[in-house]
Amino acid sequence: MLGATVDEAQTQIMTFARNANFTLEDRAHCLELLDGHGQGQRYIVGMAGANIGRTPPADIVLADSEVSRAHCRLTLENGVLMVTDLNSTNGTFVDGVRILAPTAVPVGAILRIGRQSLKHEWRTHREILQSNEFDREIGKARSYVEALLPPLLTDGPVKTDWLFEPCSKLGGDAFGYGALSGTQFLIYMMDVSGHGAGAALHSVAVMNLLRQRALPGADMADPAQVLAALNHMFPMDDHAGMYFTLWYGVYDTASRRLRYASAGHHPAFLVPEDRSQALGLRTRCGLIGADPGTRYTAAMADIPPGASLYLFSDGVFEFVTADGVEWGLNDLVPYLQMPRLPEMTESRRLFRDVRKYAQPGGLDDDFTLLVLTFD
């Protein structure tokens, strides 16, 4: 999602088993869309097979300019799912290999068509329906989180740009910003341990507190006090074993100083207008909720005119590349310093630059990135 709230698309099952008379325990060949706007959508391929293309009359329509009108055909041969490319412009790929002839798609394989990835699953109709119900619940939780995310700021002393691309399991990321009082501007990014609706609702509970700009016994302008108050309010023993990481800062537009503290979170990075460095901003403090005795400390940074602050969750840099290499924070930092592009937002540029290294398929974790640019 990019800077706006959208109504969550419902997961759908589309079936091409036209002549099938199945029971819930019968297994079916199912393709699950792993990315893009229709993420989570499932297509059951029956004995009649199915054509994939960009427009009808294709049975499976993928609205992607890199998908040909009639792109490929799926068939079942002796119980094996086969795919045949229909002379498409950009080709059909099975587990990253472009097919040159009718090719088997093993269970678990990723079928890549244009920019879309579909995973082949062999599941009972009952399992598919249960997954569908689960996805609907995840979809509701995702919508709840998205509804609480702040609008983009395009005027004023702080401008914002963000990208929130949750993984299919929903990862528990959240962030916020806005006026605190007078010249003070609040910023935060958090990541709840684990995935699913539970993690998302935990993040929502914290977001709702911070949106009220009030915490018991804490000065909201003092990051160390805020972290300590949250640590007191959200012990993991009382919250299904969940803890969270948090980066929290308060920027004073008059003094141009940013006061910040982090709890188990990697640094935010301050990049000056000339892109000459990426300065990590972090205090070494423990996770929120993990230990009631944790002490929190804050630090200060001067903000030069035109500088940008990058905050993100670990899903932005923790992934395995197509070559099987673990990516990490040190791999990401040089990309933060690269020049801005006039035709693209910073968050979208970084998503493009980083995700090109990832294995095909959906995200393993939320990709959450917030860029603040100071006048």
Site of interaction with another protein (CB under 8 A) = 191, 193-195, 236-237, 241-243, 245, 264-266, 284-287, 290-291, 294, 314, 318, 326, 328-329
Number of residues that make up the chain: 375
Read off the tokens for 121.
């699953």
d(Cα 93, Cα 95) in Å, to the nearest integer? 6
Residue 39: name the closest of 201, 191, 165, 224 by CA.
Answer: 165
Q: What's the closest the beta carbon of residue 348 comes to another protein, in angstroms?
A: 26
Position 345: which residue type?
T
What is the SS3 assignment for 353? helix
d(Cα 170, Cα 164) in Å, to the nearest integer? 11
Q: What's the closest the beta carbon of residue 205 comes to another protein, in angstroms?
A: 17
Please say which residue, 284 or 356, places its beta carbon nearer to another protein.
284
Read off the tokens for 130.
């249960």
The torsion defined by the Cα of 349, 351, 357 and 361, in degrees rounded to 10, comes to: -140
Q: What's the closest the beta carbon of residue 203 comes to another protein, in angstroms?
A: 13
Return the half-sphere exposure (C-beta side, CA atoms, 13 A cut-off) of residue 171: 23
Please say which residue, 96 or 241, places its beta carbon nearer to another protein.
241
The 8-class DSSP code of residue 238 comes to G
Q: What's the closest the beta carbon of residue 159 comes to another protein, in angstroms?
A: 28
Q: What's the closest the beta carbon of residue 290 comes to another protein, in angstroms?
A: 5
Please say which residue, 90 or 294, places its beta carbon nearer to another protein.
294
d(Cα 195, Cα 272) in Å, to the nearest integer? 34
Please say which residue, 45 or 369, places its beta carbon nearer to another protein.
369
Q: What's the closest the beta carbon of residue 326 comes to another protein, in angstroms?
A: 6
Please say which residue, 194 or 360, places its beta carbon nearer to another protein.
194
Please say which residue, 138 or 242, places its beta carbon nearer to another protein.
242
Contact 366, 170 (CB under 8 A): yes
